Amino acid sequence: MLVALYGPSCVGKTTIGNALSAATNRMLRSCGQIVRNQAQLLGVEADDLPDCKHHEVDSATRDWLVENPTGIVEGRYLDYVLATSELRPFLVQLTAADEVRQKRWQDRVGPSFRMDDWRRMDEADAALIARIYPGVERLTPDFILDTSSVPVAECARQVQQRIVS
């Protein structure tokens, strides 16, 4: 069964995806890393990647799912990307409290990142979705997991438990 992990920045998509991939010996596609790679190739920041490049990454993600029927994919807005896919993976929405997300980001980039920065990031994500997926009805998650206080291994175990039952 295909598994898709989605949610905003710093809810644990990549970390849990890596843990789940290791625990289940499944391939993992990290959409955020692919977007960052595409931006680097163009010499721009990931936030400045042209919409057409986002569409290319999203189309390649849908193709990847067909080629990897037991794979795991993680990304910020897969509930929209996969709404137009011929395959329907087990969709896991990851969430975390804003304060936890901020702390995780500060652990990565330093303490200067503030709650206002979060709001701008989330607003930019919403604007991107509105531009590139107008009128698309997002998929409903099969499972919602709040990662705020749950260890990574336990998050991966909970997802794994649901995909085998």
The full set of domains in the chain, from first to last, is: 3-164 (3.40.50.300)
Which DSSP state fits 46?
Answer: G
Q: What is the pTM of this model?
A: 0.94
Residue 76: per-residue pLDDT: 95
Mean pLDDT of the chain: 93
- C-alpha dihedral sign at 80, 119, 5, 96: negative
pLDDT tens for each residue of 57-106:
999 999 999 999 999 999 999 999 999 888 899 999 999 998 899 888 88
Name the one residue in this structure whose structure tokens are 């189309």: 59
Residue (of 160, 163, 165, 164) closest to 22 by Cα position: 160
The distance of Cα 138 from the centroid of its chain, to the nearest Å, equals 14
Asked whether the predicted pLDDT for residue 151 surpasses 70, the reply is yes
pLDDT tens for each residue of 113-127:
777 777 888 899 999
Q: What angle do CA 51, 10, 97 make, to 5 degrees?
A: 120
- Report the amino acid identity of residue 33: Q
pLDDT tens for each residue of 12-35:
999 999 999 999 999 999 999 999
The C-alpha atoms of residue 62 and residue 57 are separated, in whole angstroms, by 9
What mean pLDDT comes out for the span 132-158?
Answer: 96
- Token pair, residue 30, equals 């990290």
Asked whether the predicted pLDDT for residue 165 surpasses 60, the reply is no
